[in-house]
Structure 1
Amino acid sequence: MEIPKTELFAVLQEFNPWWSSQAVTDLSEWERSAAVPIRTWMKDTDSRRALVLGGARQTGKTTLLRQAIRQLVREGAAAGNILYATFDHPILKLAGLERTLAAWEELFVPVAGQPQWLFLDEIQYVADWQTWLKHQVDFKRGRRIVVTGSASPLHDSKVESGVGRWETLPLATMSFGEFLKLRGIDPGPVPEARSLKPCFEWSPAEFARTAALAKSLTPHFHDYLLRGGFPEPASVSDLTRCQRLLREDIVDKVLKRDMTALYGVRRVLEVEKIFLYLCYHDGGIVDVAALSRELDGVNRQSVNNFLELFESTHLIYRLRPHGYGKEVLRGKPKIYLADAALPGSVLLLGRKLLDRPDRLGAAVETAFFKHVFTRYYADQPVFTYWRDKAKKDLEVDLIAQIGERLVPFEVKYQDTKVDLGKLKGLRLFLENHGIAQGYLITRRWEDFGLLDVPSARPGRERALLDAKILAIPAPLACYWLSS
């Protein structure tokens, strides 16, 4: 279909108001933490690599691009050298990437001595975009390109073409710290920390003093679990409307629109059934065979295909079991949803989530995983879980492997004091791998501190290992990992 140039010009003018000397005035000065690595990339003009920003719907990718453009304009970049285009707009989608760029070049002659900045939103609607981006980086000197997508390029067969050509930055939903800032909540005199590890050197007095200052985080953390980390819904005052927006703007549009438009999925009812199952089992280990039997008519291969699509559209994270070889390949995946508030909103739990220990514990585990994932992504960790082959009740919720280092985490969000007997899986993992430090994510502030680790082997229970477990309340752990 032929798009009249006048219409294409009009759309581009609308998306690029700085071309006509209009300031970008409809943006908040508040920025997500991801603005920092984006600006670092923008300032590194010696690098020719593009930047690929991926994340679920409504995580703030477009806002981050427009805030980056606002910064360029404020710093005096030539307005005509900056292009913003989003390919989920029907006119630009029909016109395609090359015709859109040709229209921009027809409107403006590049200012010599300055880079051209291309901010291309929802790039997944452009056919063969990876090849185009590779060509731009290799042969178009003087162009700096940022692309975003709600469907992950990391799961595309052409990912290898991007090695050395672009950096990837995953944009998860907001952290607990970002949530507090968005809602204008002052956390009070809570000490700042960029890592949990220094706590292993603390005295009992330091733990007690910090707990007294940080206890006020708990009600805000529970509100965060209910509202979630998608900026627009989280900013709504009414919780019922907030959760309705999560269902309609995030879940429904991905399941009913993106799955169809991007992947040609026609069996929407089956997609909804599987996603509902995952909401009931968030943070759980998924037995694909059992799920296939439970959803009569959905075979195993279809279930696996749909799980891959959920991962590609950033609705879930999948963790493999810890180990090597066949035990990993044949192991059952553990699934975390993209945000802790999604299951509660889909299942219409509202504030009742806080009175359901099983649902609340799952939400806390999901939220904590997301914070660890986001905080340490730059270190390229591998995330797994562990379960003893013989005794299935012995497990570790989350293991982060950075290089040769293994960091195990166990989440026990409960009102009663955690019994070391219930940590046998964590203790056994520490003992088997010779690890000196493990983490227990708790609810009670009275538990904040260091635990000695007795052996988990029969007959040796009284022997203390050369290891410590740091018990830390989930609100403080997530707050610290937000920085």
Structure 2
Amino acid sequence: MRIPQSDLLAVLRNYNPWWQNQPLPDLPNWKRAAYYKIAAWAAEPPAGRALLLSGARQVGKTTLFLQAIQELLDQKIPPGNILYATLDHPLLKLAGLEQILEAWQEREPRREGPLYLFIDEIQSAKDWQTWIKHQVDFHKGQRRIAVTGSATPLVTENQESGVGRWQTIKLATLSFYEYLQIRSEPVPTLPQIRSLRQLFDWKESNFQEVSHVARPIIALFHEYLLRSGFPQCSTISSITLSQKLLREDIVDKVLKRDMTALFGVRRVLEIEQVFLYLCMHDGGLLDLQELCQSLELKRPTVSNFIDLLEATHLIYRLRPYGYGKQILRAKSKVYLADAAISPSTLLKGKSLLDDPIALGQAAETAFFKHLFTRYYDQTLGFSYWQNKKKEEVDLIVDLAGRRTVPFEIKYRSPNHTKTKAFPAMQEFCQNQKIEKGYIITREIDDFKTLQLSENLRIQKIPAALACYWLGQSEIDRL
């Protein structure tokens, strides 16, 4: 549909105040780790590729784009060479990408240097993959295109049209470290750990000293599990209001708006029921038969709903470790995108802290998210493992075939890790000839290295410290 150019420009001027030499709205002074990846792309796109910033709604994608734009303006890039548009706006969505570009180019004649296009919620554009392909192929070096998307299908459907045309940054919710920075919480001075493997070289006195100094971050970690890593929610002082905002502005909008607008879902009540079931089983194995029986839904319907929840970044799925038909038929493990989604959606409030099982699930979800955020682009995948006794190694990271790293999360009670047995960890490491593993603990003083056997050392790390260091670190390996 053809939209009058004057109407388009009226909208674009509001989103691009720099065209009229006006400052951007207040932006956070502190920058997330993903910002530096975007800035590096803007300076020199690898092989001329576009950039895809993929993540859930309200996770901070727009803020990162505006911070990147501010950096370009500080570098004296001509303001007219920079366009920002969001296809969440109904008029821009109706106009389409080509009309938006036409209006921009007629309003702001090109100056010397490349053009920078920042497009939010690209999945709302028709044939967006083909559009990016043409832009990259026919405007090499002239246009640098960065887009965001809140749905995974935009990187899976028609993938062949985009092969080699864009690089992807997957943006999760705030890490524990980022949460503390954004809230300006007073944090004790802790040593910087560039790799969790460094801890195997520590002396007992190092563990004792850090345990003593780090004790205040446990309460902050629990607040993080309650407030969430969604930027808007994390800055609200009231935990009750924070959870209300998460439930209403993030979860409900995805379930009741995006599912209909993006995927044509009409059975909104049923997909909401499936999501509530997953909230009650966060971090657990997904028993599709039990889920179908509990909700009286057919298996294909439930499988489709779970695919859509994963596509909109509300959940992650892990397959069991290994290969073959037996593994393909095995149950998946499901994690929510953020530890606070379950207590917020189920209206638990602060009662989460009084429920050892639920608190343990929240800590495991948070730890997985930190691992995923730091290593998704360097791994062959994340998985879990069970022995014949159903004893489990919760998380296994396969670092691009170089090394397999197992983790068990033991957070359900203060005495849950006092034993030195850990039979699942020992069996898995023995079978796979792995010499180092990790136990993620609850108590701040449950922090030490154990020699479980001649060929196996285990590093016990309190969850709050592990998440803090994973969020702080810019390392590329564990």
TM over 0.5: yes
Q: Deviations over 1:6-53 (max 9, x none)?
A: 111100111100001111142222222210111111122563111000
What residue number does 1:136 align with? 135
> How far apart are the structure 2 equivalents of 1:122 and 1:179?
24
Q: Deviations over 1:435-474 (max 9, x none)?
A: 0000000012232001121xxxxxxxxxx34111100000
The equivalent of 2:443 in structure 1 is 444
2:338 corresponds to 1:339: yes
1:456 aligns to what? none
| CA–CA separation in structure 1 for the residues paired with 2:441 and 2:163 | 40
2:476 corresponds in structure 1 to none
Q: Which residue of 2 aligns with 1:40?
A: 40
Q: How does 1:51-200 map to 2 (within 5 A)?
A: 51-112=51-112, 114-141=113-140, 142-153=142-153, 156-200=156-200
Q: Shift in Å at residue 214 of structure 1?
A: 1.3
Counterpart contact for 2:123–2:154, Cα < 8 Å: no
Q: Once structures 1 and 2 are overlaid, which stretch shifts more, 405-414 or 21-30?
A: 21-30
Separation in structure 1 between the aligned mates of residue 111 and residue 153 of structure 2, nearest angstrom: 32
1:209-224 to structure 2, matched below 5 A, reads 209-224=209-224
Aligned amino acid, residue 440 of structure 2: I
Unaligned runs of 5+ in 1: 454-463
Structure 1 residue aligned with 2:328: 329
CA contact (8 A) 2:379 2:397 kept: no
The structural deviation recorded for 1:336 is 0.4
Find out whether 1:310 has 2:309 as its counterpart. Answer: yes
Is 1:482 matched up with 2:463?
Answer: no
Q: For residues 356-380 of structure 1, give each alpha carbon's deviation from its aligned partner in whole angstroms, at most 9, with x where no partner exists.
A: 0010000000000000111112313
Distance 2:108 2:99 in 1: 14
Could you say which residue in structure 2 is the equivalent of 1:354? 353
Q: Which amino acid aligns with 1:235?
A: T
Q: Which amino acid aligns with 1:249?
A: D
Structure 1 counterpart SS, 2:313: coil
Query: Which stretch shifts more, 258-267 or 419-428?
Result: 419-428
How many angstroms apart in 2 are the aligned matches of 1:436 and 1:425? 14
CA RMSD of the aligned region, Å?
Answer: 1.3
- 1:471 matches 2:451: no
Q: How much identity, in percent, do the aligned residues show?
A: 53
Deviations 1:117-167 (A, max 9, x none): 000000010011011111111111210000001112465221233222110
The structural deviation recorded for 1:204 is: 0.9
Q: Tell me the SS of whatever aligns to 1:31.
A: coil
Aligned equivalent of 1:407: 405
Q: Where does structure 2 lack aligned partners over 5 or more consecutive residues?
A: 473-478
2:389 paired with 1:391: yes
For 1:248, the aligned partner's letter is E
Alignment partner of 1:261: what SS? helix
Alignment length (residue pairs): 469
For residues 367-382 of structure 1, the aligned pairs below 5 Å read: 367-382=366-381
Contact in 1 for aligned 2:282/2:361 (Cα 8 Å): yes
Asked if 1:432 corresponds to 2:421, the answer is: no
Tell me the distance in 1 between the aligned counterparts of 2:160 and 2:459: 40
Counterpart AA for 1:391: K
CA distance, structure 1, for counterparts of residue 380 and residue 154 of structure 2: 15
Residue 422 to residue 452, structure 1, CA distance change in 2 (3 Å): closer
Pick closer, same or farther for the CA change 1:421–1:282 going to 2, 3 Å: same
Partner SS, residue 157 of structure 2: coil
Looking at structure 1, the residues matched to 245 and 469 of structure 2 have their Cα atoms a distance apart, in angstroms, of: 28
